Amino acid sequence: MKTKRAVFFLLMILGFAMQAQQSVEKEVDSLAIKNSSQLKFNKKQLIIPAVFITYGIVGLESDFLKGINAEVKEEVNENIDHKLTIDDFSQYAPAVSVYALGALGIKGKNNLRDKTIILTTSYLIMGLTVESLKKITHVERPDGSSFNSFPSGHTATAFMGAELLYQEYKDVSPWYGISGYVVAAGTGAFRMYNNRHWLTDVVAGAGIGILSTKAAYWLYPSVNKLLSSKKHQNRKSAFLPYYDGKQFGFGLVSSF
């Protein structure tokens, strides 16, 4: 099937990202404190997400990349029998897996509170970035339904969760992280299969998702310090999930 070419392209990107990321993480981990909630900042960690995001942004004006988008769309559409809405659920699978593994007694890098703070921070960064870019770029979707195609929010959400899964469980088994990235790549592929996004949307979404989670780990000490401030010892905070029928997210509730 011609659609295999698009899936192969995504898997190739995924493989490159995992290989490069693992080499960077080995270097960074040698400087990190075991079981620390903080991900040690290293500018090399920016390479993979920066390449993905740059590819997507360049694709907004590049005739060559637009041609690739059109070719992928044409090939995918030739083989579409009916839409599969699995991507509406698979986008959350990697993040949910982090909590599922914890519930099964498989300990990750952080406890429930810390990883929830990190997840919430990454979700806020990702959500604000995606929604801002959608409004600024005003790119029409492949199916012509709206002008908010760039970048792919579903893909960004999936890769955000995949990076969280990788960071939390890479020391337990690298297969947890690999499985998360496979699901994330599949989510991106289904967004194209369902004619909802261009290839550039998906690649940029992947970069935003990965970078959002990395940024959340880097920001964790500051966020945790803010939530644990001695000036607010009577403050009680909770992160509550919500679902409005279309989108899933987290909200912060504080009492004094």
CA–CA separation, 133 vs 205, rounded Å? 11
Per-residue confidence band for 184, with pLDDT thresholds at 50, 70 and 90: very high
- Rounded distance, CA 118 to CA 219, Å? 8
| pLDDT, tens digit (0-9, with 9 covering 90-100), for 26-54 | 554 444 444 445 567 778 888 899 999 99
Single out the residue of 174, 243, 152, 185 nearest to residue 8, CA to CA. 185
Cβ atoms 182, 14 nearer than 8 A: yes
Evaluate if residue 164 carries a pLDDT over 90: yes
Work out the pLDDT band at 76, boundaries 50, 70, 90.
confident
82-116: per-residue pLDDT in tens?
Answer: 677 899 999 999 999 999 999 999 999 999 999 99
At 251, the pLDDT band (50, 70, 90 cuts) reads low
Cis check: omega of the bond before 151, within 30 degrees of 0: yes
pLDDT at residue 183, rounded to an integer = 94
Q: What is the mean pLDDT of residues 113-121?
A: 94
Q: What is the pTM of this model?
A: 0.82
Q: Report which of 241, 167, 250, 158 is spatially closest to residue 206, judged by C-alpha positions.
A: 158
Query: Is residue 163's pLDDT more than 90?
Result: yes
CA–CA dist 252, 229 (Å, integer):
16
pLDDT for residue 3 is more than 50: no
Parse the chain into domains and list their residue ranges.
3-255
222-230: long-range pairs with CB below 8 Å, 24+: 223/117, 223/121, 224/37, 224/114, 224/117, 227/117
Say if CB 161 and CB 93 are below 8 A apart: yes
Nearest Cα to Cα of residue 46 among 221, 214, 219: 214
Question: How far is the C-alpha of 243 from the C-alpha of 48, rounded, in Å?
Answer: 31
Residue 85's pLDDT is 83
Neighbours of 20 (CB within 10 A): 15
